Every structure is written in C-alpha cells, then in structure tokens.
C-alpha cells in the first residue's frame, strides 16, 4: 500500500490541475467587433439590441425552440421566472433543500413564502415525496434545482404539480446541458432560470442569467417583469403595465454569450468524459463512489459529487478529504448550503425588522416555520465535491481515480 501524501508519501498529482480557459480569442474578436461598430457609428451598444436578441435566439435554439430572455444574474433569472408566474403575495413556493442563496431569496423578494422540501438522501436534490409533504392550500409553485448538474427526477414532480395545479420552475444555474430521460433540463418545467456568471458552463462575462420557457404567455409576462413592466407582447396599453425593476442584460455581455454557446456542447462533453470516467472506475469501490444519479439522466458535472460510505471506512469524511487534498486533488469537504439554516431565514431579515412576508397578517401559514431536513443533512455529511472542468483530460481523470483508490484503500475497513 502506497504511503499517503498526508503522512509524507509521494503525491499522486504533483502539478496544478489546468485552469478553465473559458474565455478565448473568439470572445475577444466578437467584443472588438462590437466596439469597432460603436466607434465607427458613434452609437453606443446598449441592451435588447441586435446582439442580445441574437443571444436569446441562440439560447432558445440550444433548448430546441422556445423563448429566452437574457437578464443580469442567475438570481434575477429566478426572480424573473417567478415574476412571470404573477403570484399573489404570501403564496407558498416550495424551494430546494440545498442550493445557492440566489436559488431561494427571489421567492421572498416577490413577497412569497419559501417552503423548504427535503432532499433525496442520495443526492443534494429534492424529490417528489419530499415536495408532496410540503404542499398546502397556499402552495402555488415548486422550484427545483439540478445541483452539481445532476438532474432532479422531474416526471414525478411534474405529475405532482399537475395534480395540484402548481407551476414548476427549474433552476438550471448549475445544469447547462444536463439531460433527463432524453430531455434537456430547463425545458421540462413551465419555466426555467440559468446563471451565466463566469463560473458556470457557459457565461456572458462576469455575471448574467437567462429565463427560458416554451410558453409564450409566460415569456412575455417574464419580460415585462424583467424590465419595469414595459408592455412587451401587448398592444393598446397606457404606459408600463406592472411594477417591476430592471433586470436586463446588455449587448456586450450577450455578444460574449453567443460565442460561449457555440463552445457549450464541447464543454459539457469534456466534463462528462471526466465524470463518467471516474464514475466507472469507482463503481466497485466500497468506500467512495460518484454520487447516485437519477436513472436515464446525464449530468453536465458542474462539479463531481462524491459519496462516501461511512460503514466501510475507518475514518471520518473530513479526514478522507484531507488525505485526498494532500494527494493534490481539488476537494470541497462540505456543500451544506441548506438555506433554511442561514441567518437571513432564521431571523426573517428581508424587509427591515418587520419579519415580512411571514409576519404579515395576510399570511395564514406558520409564522416561524422550522424545517426538518434530515436527508439534506445526511447528503451534506456523506458527500463531498471534486472540482473538475473542461480542460481536464485523460491524465487528470486518471489522477483523480488513482488518488481516490489510494486514499480509500488506506482507509477501508
């Protein structure tokens, strides 16, 4: 048995893992052309112009048809997707167990109540039974997030939503190019949101997001909500038609986005090769495996979620991860982003000191809801993440596998 690097042995990976190289000369050339035109004509590039319209067309085409609205962050993409539903305040919206704050906070920003569904303990994602347990007569929508790029089991969620007449919003911030039963995630629910900040599979520069739907009515309501209630898709109106803020993207970011979209299939394919390679190699490892995924789904691997099996190990997950990191592997020990554990939710700090929306007398549900999340906690405790990207090739995949095997061999019972 090889000496672990953590105890002074040789490291599996002695050189840094490659950087993403997400932005290239193609984006630079496209942006330069935009600048050249602005300088030549004297007209500054703006927003909702030809470049943004093109990006929206490109994005809709990537989704196999439908309507895309480019906005300025993934959080605002979810905000506008929810805005498109035009929910009454104090409606309950079921939200994911483990997600970014931007995957929950938009719910309170439209005056609605986030209700946390627990996870399938094998994943960071929710599942239909957990959602069903949270439905009340006040529920109007369900937000699901495909965390790490692993698909939520959508069919039972859609069936549940149909039964209770609820909207389903897919948060695809981490899931550009994930497939579920042959369908692209983001095209299954009624409406979806994507983050295009620079850490995601494809980007629009530093920040950005997209709202996507196949439903024209939802699209136009979302666009109105994303741009101060301008009467998009309406005629005969008198000024702006609803109160909203300005969440627009812009032509500069969209120019980058269109180039990036051409790279997205390659990015997904290369990440998938790494993820699937590690998955196959770890299939019979009793200590650690790539996390369980919904059958007939295909992760886009925003990161590589690894599951440990405590009964098969002589150490805690944290020690295992420390040993793996010492081998040169980029490890995140915990992804416990359980938003109902966060101060803002516990202290109900949204609108000054009022405790709104929960404390408003118009809300008839629990004033200080507490959510038991045993499965989400279990998932957080038994999973860790390995950072991967599309620059990784066969050597990087092999190094990850070798390090996992080396460390698990040492700590196996």
Ligand X SMILES: Cc1ncc(COP(=O)(O)O)c(C=O)c1O
In angstroms, what is the minimal distance from the CB of 178 to ligand X? 12
Query: Binding of ligand X at residue 173 (CB under 6 A)?
Result: yes
Structure tokens at 205: 């520069």
Instruction: Kindly tell me which residue out of 123, 139, 174, 297 binds ligand X, with binding defined by CB under 6 A.
Output: 174
> Which of 73, 248 has the CB closer to ligand X?
73
Query: Binding of ligand X at residue 169 (CB under 6 A)?
Result: no
- Of 131, 146, 181, 180, give the one whose Cα is nearest residue 74: 146
Please identify which residue in the block is written with the tokens 């942006």. Answer: 31
Chain residues 112-141 in contact with ligand X, contact rule CB under 6 A: none
> Which of 56, 171 has the CB closer to ligand X?
171
Please spell the DSSP secondary structure of 325-342, one letter per residue. Answer: HHTT--EE-----BGGGS
> Which of 13, 202 has the CB closer to ligand X?
202
- Of 161, 198, 183, 171, give the one whose Cα is nearest residue 81: 171
Chain residues 236-265 in contact with ligand X, contact rule CB under 6 A: none
Q: Among the candidate windows 135-143, 166-174, 243-251, 276-284, which touches ligand X by CB under 6 A? A: 166-174
Structure tokens at 87: 């929910």
Residue 384 main-chain phi, psi, to 5 deg: -140, 170
Query: Binding of ligand X at residue 186 (CB under 6 A)?
Result: no
Q: Which residue is nearest to ligand X (CB)?
A: 74
Instruction: Kindly tell me which residue out of 102, 111, 277, 328 binds ligand X, with binding defined by CB under 6 A.
Output: 102
Cα separation, 31 vs 259, in Å, equals: 10
Instruction: Kindly tell me which residue out of 157, 197, 203, 315 binds ligand X, with binding defined by CB under 6 A.
Output: 197
Instruction: Kindly tell me which residue out of 45, 68, 73, 97 binds ligand X, with binding defined by CB under 6 A.
Output: 73
Query: Binding of ligand X at residue 75 (CB under 6 A)?
Result: yes
Instruction: Kindly tell me which residue out of 52, 68, 71, 99 binds ligand X, with binding defined by CB under 6 A.
Output: 99
Q: Is it true that the peptide bond before 357 is cis, omega within 30 degrees of 0?
A: yes
Instruction: Kindly tell me which residue out of 66, 83, 97, 103 binds ligand X, with binding defined by CB under 6 A.
Output: 103
Tell me the site size for ligand X, rule CB under 6 A.
15
Cα separation, 411 vs 319, in Å, equals: 10
Strand order from edge to edge, sheet including 179-180: 183-184, 179-180, 297-298
Q: For the stretch 377-405, what's the b/e string if a residue is b when 16 or more beta carbons lie within 10 angstroms of its beta carbon?
A: bebbbbbbbbebbbbbeeebbebbbbbbb
In angstroms, what is the minimal distance from the CB of 187 to ligand X? 17
In angstroms, what is the minimal distance from the CB of 171 to ligand X? 5
C-alpha gyration radius of the chain: 22
Q: Among the candidate windows 70-78, 271-279, 284-292, 312-320, which touches ligand X by CB under 6 A? A: 70-78
Q: Among the candidate windows 53-61, 71-79, 128-136, 392-400, which touches ligand X by CB under 6 A? A: 71-79
CA atoms within 13 A on the CB side of 226: 35
Q: How far is CA 311 from the centre of its chain?
A: 31
Cα separation, 97 vs 332, in Å, equals: 19
In angstroms, what is the minimal distance from the CB of 364 to ligand X? 29
In angstroms, what is the minimal distance from the CB of 105 to ligand X? 9
Instruction: Kindly tell me which residue out of 100, 118, 170, 396 binds ligand X, with binding defined by CB under 6 A.
Output: 100
Contacts with ligand X by CB under 6 A lie at: 73-75, 99-100, 102-103, 145, 171, 173-174, 195, 197, 207, 209
């Amino acid at each position: 048995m090889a000496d672990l690097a953590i105890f002074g042995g040789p490291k599996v990976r002695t050189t840094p893992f490659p950087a993403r190289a997400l932005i290239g000369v193609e984006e630079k050339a496209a942006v330069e052309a935009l600048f050249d035109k602005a300088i030549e004509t004297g007209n500054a590039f703006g927003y909702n112009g030809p470049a943004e319209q093109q990006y929206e067309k490109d994005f809709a085409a990537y989704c196999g048809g439908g309507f895309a609205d480019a906005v300025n962050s993934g959080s605002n993409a979810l905000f506008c997707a929810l805005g498109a539903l035009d929910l009454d305040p104090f409606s309950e919206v079921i939200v994911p167990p483990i997600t970014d704050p931007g995957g929950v906070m938009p719910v309170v920003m439209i005056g609605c109540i986030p209700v946390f569904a627990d996870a399938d303990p094998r994943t960071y994602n929710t599942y239909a039974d957990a959602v069903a347990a949270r439905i009340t007569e006040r529920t109007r929508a369900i937000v699901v997030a495909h965390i790490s790029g692993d698909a939520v089991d959508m069919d039972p969620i859609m069936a549940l939503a149909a039964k209770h007449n609820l909207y389903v919003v897919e948060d695809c911030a981490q899931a550009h190019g994930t497939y579920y039963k042959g369908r692209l995630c983001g095209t299954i629910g009624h409406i979806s949101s994507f983050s295009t900040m620079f850490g995601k599979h494809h980007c629009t520069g530093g920040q950005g997001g997209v709202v996507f739907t196949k439903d024209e009515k939802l699209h136009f309501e979302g666009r109105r909500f994303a741009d101060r209630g301008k009467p998009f898709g309406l005629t005969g109106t008198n000024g702006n038609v609803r109160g909203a803020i300005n969440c627009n993207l812009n032509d500069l970011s969209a120019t980058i986005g269109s180039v990036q979209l051409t790279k997205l299939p390659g990015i997904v394919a290369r990440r998938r090769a790494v993820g699937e390679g590690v998955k196959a190699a770890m299939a019979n490892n009793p200590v650690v495996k790539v996390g369980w995924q919904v059958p007939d789904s295909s992760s886009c691997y925003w990161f590589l979620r690894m599951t440990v099996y405590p009964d098969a190990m002589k150490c805690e997950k944290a020690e295992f991860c420390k040993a793996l990191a010492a081998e040169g592997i980029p490890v995140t020990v915990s992804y416990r982003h359980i938003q109902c554990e966060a101060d803002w939710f516990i202290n109900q700090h949204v609108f000054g000191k009022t405790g709104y929306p929960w404390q408003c007398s118009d809300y008839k549900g629990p004033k200080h809801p507490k959510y038991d999340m045993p499965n989400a906690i279990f998932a957080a405790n038994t999973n860790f993440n390995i950072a991967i990207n599309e620059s990784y090739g066969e050597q990087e995949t092999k190094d990850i596998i070798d390090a996992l095997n080396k460390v698990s061999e040492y700590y196996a019972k």
